[in-house]
Structure 1
Amino acid sequence: MPAFSHRAAAAYRNVDVNTRATEHDPYELALMMFEAVLDSVTMAQGAIASGDVTLKVKQINRALKILQDGLRTSLDLEHGGELAQNLDALYDYCVLRLTEANAFNDAKKLAEVAQLIKPLAEAWRQMRSGATPDPQAADATPSTPATPSTPKAPPAARRMGSLYGAGMALAGA
């Protein structure tokens, strides 16, 4: 199992996600982590609205742990180039905003984090399904239909996959 998969699985065990992460491929693990962050942010927003401080803290801490121990530490900063550096900075910013949201009961800061993470989750969802990105996107190119045994991902998705190390290299890269 690639190093990314080990770190991602460990992050899930540490934050008590009710799944067997080791049964999933690295792409699915990344998507699961993005979705788990979004779920935690949504639950924290509801907790703020209802005044449930305990749930708010629990969900924000869960999102922080996934961002820091799963997504951020799994980045291949040495080989991932500018995009990996940008994601690292984005995760750092999200950690800051989540911390502020927790300290000040600020649902707007939580919404900001969700707005930043949703496009990443969608990109991983597209990459996972082999879907072609929006043709309006700057570096979108027509993709060839993928066969189940050798999926072909769009160029942008291949670059995203390479950010998390050799274990995340996509077919057709």
Structure 2
Amino acid sequence: MFGSMQNGASAYAKVGMETGVIAANPHKLIIMLFEGAQIALNNALQQMQAGNIAGKGQAISKAIMIIENGLRASLDKSVGGEIAINLDALYEYMSSRLLLANRNNQPEIIQEVQTLLNDIKSAWEAIAPNSATSTPVTELAGQIQSSSYDALAPNMPRLMKA
């Protein structure tokens, strides 16, 4: 009558993920893409071990889609310069390696790509906006709160100059 518990749990997880995407900043979205690719590759390894060829193919295809349409597509080579160009080449390499892993049923190639993704994700997490600037921002917030500054009040000197 109401559906299975599995469907309910799946719907709940989907809502949680969608809410996380809506609330995330661009930096967090990239981390979520790395996590999604890792989950897909873990699933591919499980399907490979189980001998489920279709499941393995779907999981690897999902990982490739995340790498190509998420991580690679988000690169801005005009702003990112050499780093973006190198990441673009690395993402292309990962995708081609995953195609090979799927075709030849080679879990070690999937593990190689997982290692590469994990290394890039770790570097991305290390440059998180809140990691290096959390203390100064906190101190600035405290200074603003202790003063009579009102962020929502109109800036009168600027308004009077017009």
TM-score, length basis structure 1: 0.65
Post-superposition Cα deviations, 1:31-81, rounded to whole Å, max 9, x if no partner, equal 000111111111111111111112211110111111111111110011211
Change (3 A) 1:63 1:77: same
Provide the residue aligned with 1:154 in structure 2: none
Classify 1:49/1:146 alpha carbon distance in 2 versus 1 (closer, same or farther; 3 Å).
farther
Q: Deviations over 1:137-171 (max 9, x none)?
A: xxxxxx78343598xxxxxxxxxxxxxxxxxxxxx
Which has the larger share of helix? 2
Q: Percent identity?
A: 31
Q: Please name the residue that 1:40 is paired with.
A: 40
Label 1:38 to 1:145 Cα distance change in 2 as closer, same or farther (>3 A): same
Unpaired runs of at least 5, structure 2: 1-12, 141-162
Bigger Rg, which one: 2
Residues 64 and 95 in structure 1, CA contact (< 8 A), matched pair in contact too = yes
Q: Which structure 1 segments of 5+ residues have no match?
A: 1-16, 133-142, 151-173
Which residue in 1 is equivalent to 2:99?
A: 99
- Specify whether residues 92 and 147 from structure 1 end up closer, same or farther in structure 2 by C-alpha distance, changes over 3 A only: same
Q: Which residue of 2 aligns with 1:127?
A: 127
User: Which string of whole-angstrom CA distances, capped at 9 and with x for unpartnered residues, describes residues 74-107 of structure 1?
Assistant: 1001121110000000000000001001111110
Contact 1:37-1:62 at 8 Å conserved across structures? yes
**Gap change, CA 1:51 and 1:83, over 3 Å in 2:** same
Residue correspondences, number? 124
Distance 1:146 1:52 in 2: 52
Q: Which residue is equivalent to 1:72?
A: 72
CA distance in 2: counterparts of 1:56 and 1:144, whole angstroms: 42
Across the aligned residues of Structure 1 and Structure 2, the Cα RMSD in angstroms comes to 2.3
Distance of aligned partners of 1:88 and 1:149 in 2 relative to their CA distance in 1, 3 Å threshold: farther
TM-score by length of 2: 0.69
